Amino acid sequence: MDNNLTTTTLAEMKELVRTLNEAAYAYYVEDNEIMSNFEYDRLYDRLSALEAETGTVLPDSPTKSAGAGYKAVSKLEKSEHEFPALSLDKTKDRYALPAWLGGMDGVLSWKLDGLTVVLTYEGGMLQKAVTRGSGTVGEVVTHNAVHFGGVPKRIRFKGKLIIRGEAVMKYADFEEVNRRIPETEAKYKNPRNLASATVRLLDSKEAAERPVTVMAFDLVYIDDGRGIRDANSKNAQYEWLEGQGFSVVPHTLVTPLTVVSELERFERQLPENEFPTDGLVLILDDEAYGRSLGSTGKFPRNGIAFKWQDEAVESRIREIEWSASRTGLLNPVAIFDPVEIEGTTVSRASVHNVSIARALRLGKGSRVSVYKANLIIPQIAETIESTGETPIPENCPVCGGATSVHENEGIETLYCENPDCPAKHVGRFTHFVSRDAMNIVGLSEATLETFIDAGFVRKFADLYRLERFRDNIVTLEGFGVRSYENLQAAVAASRSVKFSALLNAAGIPGIGKDMAKQISRFLGTDAYGRFTGLIAERFDFSAVSGIGEVINDNIYEWADDVSRFEEFKELAGLLDISDDVRSVRADGDNDVQASSGAISPIEGKTFVITGALNGFSNRDKMVEFIEERGGKVSGSVSSKTDYLINNDVNSGSGKNKKAKELGVPVISEEEFMKLAASPVYDPGR
Ligand SMILES: [Zn+2]
C-alpha cells in the first residue's frame, strides 16, 4: 500500500521524530534549549516533507500536537493579559442583526461553550497559553495546551502572534470521561465544566488523556500581518490561521441580506453538533472600522453574540415510563404535563439511567423545570420540588418479568432479566410483518419497537388485537387517528394469508419463503390442518423435496416449544388461511396456481458437489442454497444425479469420470448460478 515507505525512509522518520521530541521536551519541560530554532525548523520541515510524500505520520510525530512530554506544576501561575478580553453584548432577536451590521459585511461563527485560552507565539514557537480568567489576569496552562488538538507547538510564522481560542470537548468524549468516574465521586455536569477542569489540571499527563480541542476565534495581535492576504479582514485572518495549523471555529462571511438565512443554516446544524455551543457570534469583517467604533465601556462595538431562547419552563411529573430496548435495558423517560417550549409542545424527556433518575427524585407530582438542550432535545433541568423518590419498577413493563439494577463503572442501569422478553426479539416481529410473511403494510420496525416497549404487543396474535390500545396508540408521538386507522386497515388486509406466508412468518429457523412454499405445496389442500396434523403424528418432513434432517429437527424444536406452537395456533385462529399450491394427488389434480410464485429452476433436481468452490464461502452454504430452492444434494454420482458441480470441469477425478460414463453434465459453479437464476438456461444439455 505505502509504496513510498521504504525501510530507510521509515528509519529516517523515526530518527527525526525522536530528535525533535527530545528538543521539544527540553524546551517545554526543562526550559532548556538543546537545538537552535534554525536547526529545529530544518529537521521539522524535512519530517513534514517525508510525511507528505509517504502519507504516513508516526504516532508520536511532533507535527501532530501531542507528544511534547509531560509536566506537572504545583500550582497555576497567574499572568496578566497584554490585551484584556471583553465580553460581547447579546441579542436574542435574529431580525436585529441586519440593522446591526449597518451595511457592512460580518463574520458569523459558533459561540463555543468551553474555556477561553490565549495563546502567544514568538519565533514560530508556542510561548505561553493563559486562561481568560477575569479578562485581565488568567492562569498559565502552557504545560497542558501543548497536548490539546488544534494547538500547533510550532508555526511557520516567525513574528509575534497572540490569538484567542475556545478549549472545548465533544459531547461523546464528555460522556466517555464521565463514565470512567466512580459513582462515589462527583461527575462533571457538562462538557464545559470538564473542558475547563482539564485545561486547568496541574499534571499535563492527565490532561493529555482527555481529548480537548482549542478552536481559534480571534487573532488578537500580529506584529507583521503582511503574510495575510487581507490583514484587515477577519475572514482572511481565519483562513490564514488555518494555514498556520490552527483549528478555527466554523464560520461564514455574511452581509445584511444573508445574515438571517446563514443564522438559520447554523440553527439546522444544531442537532448534529459534536461540540457544545452557546449561540453565535457576529463580528464586523472590517477590523480597522470595527476598532474605530470603540466600546460602550462594557462591550466592544465590533461584535455581538446571538443566543437562542432556552428558558426553562416549569412542569409537573405525571409518571416515569421505562422504555425497553433489544438488549433488555430499560430506559427511564419522564412524562410531565405538556408544556410549550421553543414553539412545540413537549411532554416527555429521557432521564438517561437509574443513577440520574434517582438523583433527580422524580416522584409523581414533583415540580420540575424543563428545557430544550440546543433547541432540540427536551431535558429535565432540575427538580424544583420533589414529592419523593423516582420509582424503580421491579417488573419489566413489556413482559412483567423481574428486573434488576446493573452497575457498570458507577452508572446504574435497569435490565429485564427474562430471556423471552418480546423487547429482546423485535427481529422476530419485523420478520413477521414483512412482505413475504404476514405483509402488514406500513408497520415499521420503529413502530413495532414502540408497541412492544409499551406492552401493546407481546406475541404475534396481539397485532390482531390492537384495538384494545386504540386510545393509547392515537396519542403516541407522531401517531394520530389517521395513522392508527391506516394501520388497522393494513392489519385487516393481512388476515387473508397463504399458508406458505404464515409458515414463513412463524420464523422457524431454516424455513424461509421458498422452503415454506415447498412445504405448502407438499401439503396441498387444507395445508394448515394437514401441517398441524402431521406434526402431531411426528411426521418426518425430510420426505419433502429439499428438506433435510436439520430442517426437520428445527420444525420439531419449534413445535415442542409449547409457547411458540400455541402462539402459532392462536394466531392461525385469527386468520383466513388459504392454500397456495396444491400437491400432486391421486385424482391427478396437480394444477399449480400460477399466482403462487415461480418454482425454482433447480427444484427437484439432484446435485453432487465436488472440488473447491469460489462463489460460495463453503459447501454447506451451497447445499443450503440448493435445498432452499427445492433441490437435493447427494454425496455420490449415480443415474439419479442431474448435475455434477465441479469448477474443474475437465478434472480426471473419480466423480468426473463417473459423471461422463453416466452422461451426467459436469457444470461449474458459474453455470450452476445461471441455471438457478433462469428456467430456460440448460447447461450441458
Ligand atoms: Zn421484559
Task: Calculate how far, in angstroms, residue 557's C-alpha sits from the geometric centre of ligand 1.
Answer: 23
Ligand 1 centroid, distance to 509 Cα (angstroms): 23
State which residues form the domain around 457: 422-494
CATH code of the domain in which 41 resides = 1.10.287.610
C-alpha cell at 547: 428438506
Q: How many domains does the chain have?
A: 6
- Give the distance (Å) from ligand 1 centre to CA of residue 288: 66
Residue 599: the pLDDT is 64
Residue 179 sits in the same domain as residue 92: yes
Q: What is the pLDDT of residue 201?
A: 84
Query: How many A from CA of 214 to the centre of ligand 1?
Result: 45
Beta strands 251-254 and 496-498: pairing type?
unpaired
Cell of 510: 431454516
At CB < 8 A and 24+ separation, what contacts does 533-538 make? 535/559, 535/565
Question: Burial letters for 451-474: b for 16+ Cβ neighbours within 10 Å, e otherwise?
Answer: bbbbbbbbbbbbbbebeebeeebe
Do the domain assignments include residue 61? Answer: no
Quote the mean pLDDT of the chain: 84
Q: How far is the CA of 551 from the centre of ligand 1 (A)?
A: 30
What proportions of the chain, in percent to the nearest 5, are helix, strand and coil? 35, 25, 40
14, 71, 75, 111: which is the annotated catalytic residue? 111
Is 12 in the same domain as 161?
Answer: no
| pTM exceeds 0.85, yes or no | no
- Distance from residue 446's CA to the centre of ligand 1 (Å): 18
pLDDT, position 588? 34
Residue 236 CB neighbour total at 10 angstroms: 19
Pair (615, 574) in one structural domain: no
The CATH number assigned to the domain holding 270 equals 3.30.470.30
Residues 402 and 374 in one domain: yes
Q: Give the pLDDT score at 601.
A: 77
Q: Tell me the CA distances in angstroms from 479 to 446, 471, 475, one per residue in order.
A: 12, 11, 7
Is position 71 within any domain?
no
Inside any domain, residue 2: no
Q: How far is the C-alpha of 682 from the C-alpha of 601, rounded, in Å?
A: 10
**What is the Å distance from ligand 1's center to 322 Cα?**
11
HSE on the CB side for 11, CA within 13 Å? Answer: 3
Q: What's the CA gap between 393 and 463, in Å, rounded?
A: 26
Query: What's residue 32's pLDDT?
Result: 63
Residues 6+ apart with CB under 8 A from 544: 518, 519, 522
pLDDT at 103: 92
Element (H, E) at 8: helix 7-28
What is the reported pLDDT for 198? 87
Q: Is residue 1 part of a domain?
A: no
Residue 295 DSSP code: B
Residue 405 Cα to ligand 1 middle (Å): 13
pLDDT tens-digit map of 168-190: 998 888 888 877 776 556 667 77
* Domain C-terminal end among 257, 278, 306: 306
CATH number for the domain including 662? 3.40.50.10190
Task: Indicate which CATH number applies to the domain containing 470.
Answer: 1.10.150.20
Based on the number of CB atoms within 10 Å of its own CB, is 522 exposed (0-12), middle (13-18) or buried (19 or more)? buried
Q: How far is the CA of 454 from the centre of ligand 1 (A)?
A: 11
Domain co-membership, 186 together with 38: no
Compute, in angstroms, the gap from residue 587 CA to the centroid of ligand 1: 52
Last residue within a domain, chosen from 539, 562, 596: 596
Q: Are residues 107 and 138 in the same domain?
A: yes
Same domain, 370 and 330: yes
Same domain, 460 and 396: no
The alpha carbons of the chain give a radius of gyration, in whole angstroms, of 35
| 111 classed as catalytic | yes
- The residues of the chain scoring below 50 in pLDDT are 1-3, 65-68, 584-598, 684-685
Say if 372 falls within a structural domain.
Answer: yes
Instruction: Choose one of 494, 511, 537: the last residue of a domain.
Output: 494
